Amino acid sequence: MDYDKEEYERRKRAIFEQMSKRGQQRILRLGYEKWDPFQEPKDPREQIRSSSAIRAGMILAQFYEEQKEDERFRQHHKDLMDLCRGILRRDTRARAIVAFCRWYEEQEREVLGDR
């Protein structure tokens, strides 16, 4: 078992030494002992199964149901899904897009009202 631990430390040190100076500083700031360069990557399916993704899917399904006659919306499903998830998470990017859309809609009403 000692050999495995020694091998692990040797490989960890080799990876650390091959990193850029900036990367090494980041690891040292976070703590070299806590750093595990061999950890498994995060599963991207977790995002798909998250509560915001499930709720966004339900909201979009309702939206599509109300927009039956216009199939063009479904062509932008990924963009709509990203926006909906951003709104649910109160993401500043999504909120800025929504604010802009509301502002632009108001501008159109004012222009059309002047005619």
| 60 neighbors 77 (Cβ within 8 angstroms) | yes
Q: Does the pLDDT value for residue 48 go beyond 70?
A: no
Q: Where are the alpha helices (DSSP H) in 33-88?
A: 45-48, 51-66, 77-88
**Can you tell me the distance from the alpha carbon of 13 to that of 32, in angstroms, rounded to the nearest whole number?**
10
What is the value of pTM for the model shown? 0.54
Of 22-26, 31-35, 51-55, 103-107, least confident by mean pLDDT is 51-55
| 59 neighbors 84 (Cβ within 8 angstroms) | yes
Q: Which amino acid is at 57?
A: G
Q: Does the pLDDT value for residue 106 go beyond 70?
A: yes
pLDDT band at 1 (very low <50, low <70, confident <90, very high): very low
What the block records as the tokens of 2 is 């000692």
Q: Does the pLDDT value for residue 67 go beyond 80?
A: yes
DSSP label of 50: S
| 15 neighbors 23 (Cβ within 8 angstroms) | no
Q: Does the pLDDT value for residue 94 go beyond 60?
A: yes
